[in-house]
A and B are shown apart, each in its own frame.
Chain A
Amino acid sequence: MTPQIAVFLILAAVAVAGAVSLILQRHPIHSALSLIVVMVALAGLYLLQGAEFIAAVQIIVYSGAIMVLFVFVIMLLNAGAEELTNLSRMARFVGVPLGVVFLLEIAYWIARATSHMAQTSPQAVSTRDLSTLLFRDYVFPFELTSFLILIALLGALVLARREDSD
């Protein structure tokens, strides 16, 4: 059990626990907090693989801006706790075991398919290389996404405006 595998297992356990908590929590704000935990754990996994810029962007943009937007909307709309539903018996006794079996089968086929991939230790990817790729080879999609964000900004503004405002 090398340190890398130990760190991976801890972060993976935190991510899965966060995702399960997203499903099981009743109040949407607790689900939002669980999702933030998942995102931070994923940022740690990106760091483990050497993608340091992507890890920082994940925290700054995804969990520091997008999830803040979610939390704002939950607070503004005063979303309350959901009522409990009881899981149907079919789901509880047949669904979950079937899901686990399916998962094990997927694990087997993934392992077989990727066992030949290069097992080099990850070196930190420099931001310079990533930005060279982004701004030289993929500059057109980059400009398109900036256009997309502008459209989304205008759309959100127009949609959320009250009808009787000035």
Chain B
Amino acid sequence: MKRGARLDVDLNCSGGVVVPTSYYLLLSAVLFGLGVVAFVFKRNIITVFMSIELMLNAVNLAFVAFSRALGQLQGQVFVFFVIVVAAAEAAVGLAIIIVISRNRGTLNVERVDSLKH
């Protein structure tokens, strides 16, 4: 597992070993990167939209990890807001996708290019 295990020695650990913050941040970075890859390489517009949700989830994980590490709750409040905004964005975005597919007849992003030519 490429989790950077060799580097995450708990220098300040007092008592039981817990999962270090850097593990969560690395997982968040990996998920975000995979979201970007999906965004760039997939051609179905709904899958592209889902990769945006994946990126938002990765960011939520980073927020919660920092919220625990710094002992504040503002991180979790922000996660709450991110989830709400993602819901609103998904609703409007999917409505737009429905309209595009109705007008163009296709869900392929590479075919919605009439501004190019």
Contact = CB atoms under 8 A, between A and B. Distances in A.
Direct contact, A vs B (beta carbon within 8 Å)? yes
Contact of A156 (B10, B24, B92): B92
B91 A2 contact: no
Contacts of A35: 50, 53-54
Interface centre among B8, B33, B54 (most CB of A within 10 A): B54
A121 B18 contact: yes
Report whether over half of chain B's contact residues are helix, strand or loop; otherwise say mixed.
helix
Given A28-B46, A145-B81, A48 B25 contact: no
B112 interface: no
Report, as a range, how many residues of chain B touch the other chain.
35 or more
A130 to B, nearest CB: 6
A130 B85 CA distance: 18
A99 to B, nearest CB: 7
Contacts of A65: 87
A62 B15 CA distance: 35
Contacts of B26: 106-107, 110-111
A2 B15 CA distance: 12
Contacts of A70: 46, 49-50, 90, 94
Contacts of B25: 110, 114
A103 B26 CA distance: 9
A31 B47 contact: yes
Interface of B: 1-4, 7-27, 29-31, 33-35, 37-38, 41-44, 46-47, 49-51, 53-54, 57, 60-61, 64-65, 67-71, 73-74, 76-77, 79-81, 83-92, 94-99, 101, 107
Interface of A: 2, 4-5, 8-9, 12-13, 15-16, 19-20, 22-23, 28, 31-32, 35, 38-39, 42, 45-46, 48-51, 53-54, 57-58, 61-62, 65-67, 69-70, 73-74, 76-77, 79, 82, 85, 99-100, 103-104, 106-108, 110-122, 125, 129-130, 133-134, 138, 141, 145, 148-149, 151-153, 155-157, 159-160
The 9 closest A-B pairs by CB, nearest first: A152-B88, A107-B4, A159-B95, A156-B95, A19-B34, A111-B7, A117-B69, A160-B95, A111-B22
